[in-house]
């Protein structure tokens, strides 16, 4: 049985969350401030619309057409593209490990905050 989204709103919100990501929310204001404020937004938006949007639409179209995961999709396109599917899975695993560390920091720091223990965040993230 194939899973489906319960609503189009849930799908849109999940897509936006995936596209924006923690990295953009966390680092974007810093990068904008360091690189000239609003002037930085022009090349950023150009990059999003020239690369991000077409790649996202391609991903949706491939997923809808082949109705399978990444590696079998690339294998169906051509046997020589199978390794590209593995590289995508490897890259996503590395990105996931980055997000898991940040999520762990936030959850542990939240527990410290709730329990009333005062720990500076910079000291918190400097240790294991």
For position 90, what pLDDT does the model report? 92
Asked if 58 and 77 count as a contact pair (C-beta separation under 8 A), the reply is no
Q: Which residue has the higher pLDDT, 92 or 126?
A: 92
Report helix, strand and coil shares of the chain as percent, to nearest 5.
85, 0, 15
| CB-side neighbour CA atoms (13 Å) of 77 | 17
**Which residues have C-beta within 8 Å of that of residue 19, sequence separation ≥ 6?**
52, 56
Question: Mean per-residue pLDDT for 66-84?
Answer: 88
Could you report the per-residue pLDDT of 14-60, keeping only the tens digit for each? 777 776 666 666 677 677 777 777 777 778 788 888 988 888 888 88
């Amino acid at each position: 049985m194939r899973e489906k989204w319960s609503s189009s709103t849930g799908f849109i919100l999940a897509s936006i969350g995936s596209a924006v990501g923690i990295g953009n929310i966390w680092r974007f204001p810093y990068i904008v401030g360091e690189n000239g404020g609003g002037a930085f937004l022009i090349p950023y938006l150009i990059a999003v619309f020239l690369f991000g949007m077409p790649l996202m639409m391609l991903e949706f179209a491939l997923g809808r057409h082949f109705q399978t995961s990444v590696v079998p999709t690339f294998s169906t396109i051509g046997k020589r593209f199978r390794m590209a599917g593995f590289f995508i899975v490897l890259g996503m695993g590395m990105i996931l490990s980055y997000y898991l560390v940040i999520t762990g920091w936030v959850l542990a720091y939240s527990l410290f905050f709730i329990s009333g223990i005062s720990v500076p965040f910079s000291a918190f993230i400097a240790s294991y």
